[in-house]
Structure 1
């Protein structure tokens, strides 16, 4: 099942929802309620001549899903492990702080 999913990873999300045609409810997301993301820290921003750049992740202050766990991996200059930043977002109408 996993290999079949990887073989179709380029299918647009809207087409997937249309093909699966899940029962719709305004109280929840149609395909999943919990999301897990893992990424690497990008470090400093790109060099653009004399401009100073940095990566900025805007805080939306609104949960897109019932529960989201985000992990951002950090590395040392020599590539060694330097820890994770962990972010948890949740729907306040479902969970208490």
Structure 2
């Protein structure tokens, strides 16, 4: 029954279903949306020099598509990261235009 499946740990469901596994993508989800809605503050610690590791491009996409948005000075800004094995630059740019 449906209630029976809800009571099983995820590992046990995977063992029962035995899905085809691939290391080419995340087994739980392929698309991620993140809304970063926290204020940026300057962190100071006595005796230490701190710098931000903000943004930047990753050498490898973690998921098939990742949309990361935040609000800065009343504007929504963000980035779309994509797996180049699945999407080309033209397709990713078209996705971006759809969002705008």
Q: Sort the TM-score into its range (normalised by shorter chain).
A: 0.5 to 0.7
How far off is 1:52 after superposition?
4.8
Q: State the structure with more CA Rg.
A: 2
- Decide which structure has greater strand share: 1
Runs of 4+ in 1 over 6 A off after TM superposition: none
Let me know the Cα RMSD of the aligned residues: 2.6
Cα offset for 1:83? 1.4
Mapped contact 1:44–1:54 kept (Cα < 8 A): no
Return the offset for 1:35: 0.5
* Runs of 5+ consecutive residues of structure 1 not aligned to the other structure: 1-14, 76-81
Change (3 A) 1:45 1:55: farther
Aligned residues: 76
The unaligned stretches of length 5 or more in structure 2 are: 1-8, 90-100
Using structure 2 for the length normalisation, give the TM-score.
0.58
Structure having the higher helix fraction is 2
- Deviation, structure 1 residue 51: 4.9
Residue in structure 1 matched with residue 51 of structure 2 by the alignment: 54
Aligned to 2:76: 84
